[in-house]
Homo-oligomer: A and B are copies of this chain.
C-alpha cells in the first residue's frame, strides 16, 4: 500500500466530518443501500482493537417483529429511567431520545464473549474489549455522516433481554442499538445541548498538564 500523505484540504474534510457528526434521533423516509451499508460496516471492521481481538459483532435487524420486540424493550427501559429522574422527569419525557421506530436500518452491536486474549488487557480485560467495540462504532458514525446519513446510539435496554432476542452466546453483551438512515437535517449542536439538558465542558476542565485537570478534583 502506498503511504498516504493527507493534504491540508483533506485534513480539513476529516475534521469537518468529526465536528459535523451527531447522535441523531430524527430520521426521514428512505433506504440505505446494501453497498452503502457494506462500506459503513467495513469502516467498523477497520477499527483498532486490543491484541487485534476484533471483538465486535453486528446484527442487522431485518424482521419487523424483531424490531418491534426491541422497541418494546427500549420503551420499558425509558419508563424505568424516567422514574429515576426525580425533578427532571417531565423534562426528560419531553425529549426525543431515540429514533428506533423511524430509522431505515437498525443494527445491534454486541461485545463478543471473552476469547482469553491477555495481550494489552491483563489488568483491564472487559474495559479494553469494550473500548475496541466502541472505536468500531465511532468509525461507523463518521462513515455514516460521510454518506450524509444519520446515526444514533440507543442504550436504553437491559443487555440480557436483547441478548436473548438476538440469540447471543453466553458471555457476550449487546451494548448498542444503532439507528441508521436518511435524515432531513443534522442538528447544529448535540441535541441535549440545544435542548438545555446539559452544557458543553470547557477544554480547561477536561485537560490537565502532568496532573488530572484541577477543576475536576473533588475536595
Contacts and interface: CB of A to CB of B under 8 A. Distances in A.
Main SS of chain A's interface residues?
mixed
27 contacts: A3-B185, A6-B146, A13-B14, A14-B142, A18-B46, A18-B142, A45-B201, A51-B197, A52-B192, A57-B208, A58-B206, A58-B207, A58-B213, A59-B211, A60-B208, A85-B118, A97-B119, A113-B218, A123-B157, A127-B173, A128-B175, A131-B133, A131-B134, A134-B135, A135-B138, A142-B142, A169-B216
Nearest to A141: B48
A90 interface: no
Given A46-B18, A146-B11, A54 B124 contact: no
Number of copies of this chain that the complex holds: 2
A153 B50 CA distance: 9
Q: How extensive is the interface on chain A, given as a class?
A: 35 or more
A94 interface: no
A116 to B, nearest CB: 10
B167 A217 contact: yes
Contact of A207 (B41, B176, B186): B41
B210 A59 contact: yes
A203 B46 CA distance: 11
Closest 4 CB pairs of A and B: A134-B134, A14-B146, A131-B134, A138-B138
Interface in A155-203: 155-159, 166-170, 172-173, 175-176, 185-186, 188, 190, 192-193, 197-198, 200-201, 203
Contact of A50 (B21, B120, B130, B155): B155
Contact of A143 (B15, B59, B141): B15
Nearest to A135: B138
A216 B138 CA distance: 23
B166 A211 contact: yes
Contacts of A139: 18, 138
